[in-house]
Amino acid sequence: MPEQMSESATNRGQDQNEYLGRLNSLSEKIVAAIAALERNDLQRFEDSLAAQEFICHELSQTARAMSPPAPDHGAVRLPGPAFLLEVKKAHRELARLNRVYAALLNRSRRTVAMVAGLYRCHGWGYDTSRPTVAEPHTWSCEA
């Protein structure tokens, strides 16, 4: 039974390290997505989104593996305070990055809507047969 306890403790430690590593990796991918948006690099942004989805899936799997076993399995080794502090710091950093990310996406959405509205109102597009400068209009009114 002591061998099984040490093996379980080792596995739990590995799960904890993987979880913390994935939290940090998710932060890095969010930073990469923000940088891609700033550079208007759609491909890097899409790659970052895919990586974020994958990491989130892995985080949920690791979190399930880290959940305490049923009470009938004997003593449960809870995470140490150092690990909990590191996870808390990683979660705070993720929350900060998510606020920045959300604000950037909201501003981007408004900017894209304004540009689309501009093109829609003026009928301009990417049609190369149209003149690049709109022809001037004159307005007159008779009283």
> What pTM was estimated for this model as a whole?
0.64
Q: Are the beta carbons of 69 and 5 closer than 8 angstroms? A: no
61: alpha, beta or left? (left if phi > 0; alpha if psi -120 to 50): alpha
Residue 68 banded pLDDT, cuts 50, 70, 90: low
Asked if residues 87 and 23 have their Cβ atoms less than 8 Å apart, the reply is: yes
pLDDT higher than 80, residue 142: no
Q: What pLDDT shows up at residue 41?
A: 86
- Span 87-103, pLDDT tens digits: 899 999 999 999 998 99
Residue 61 has a CB neighbour count (10 Å cut-off) of 14
The model's pLDDT over 7-65, given as tens digits with 9 standing for 90+, comes to 556 666 787 888 999 999 999 999 999 999 888 888 999 999 999 999 999 988 887 77
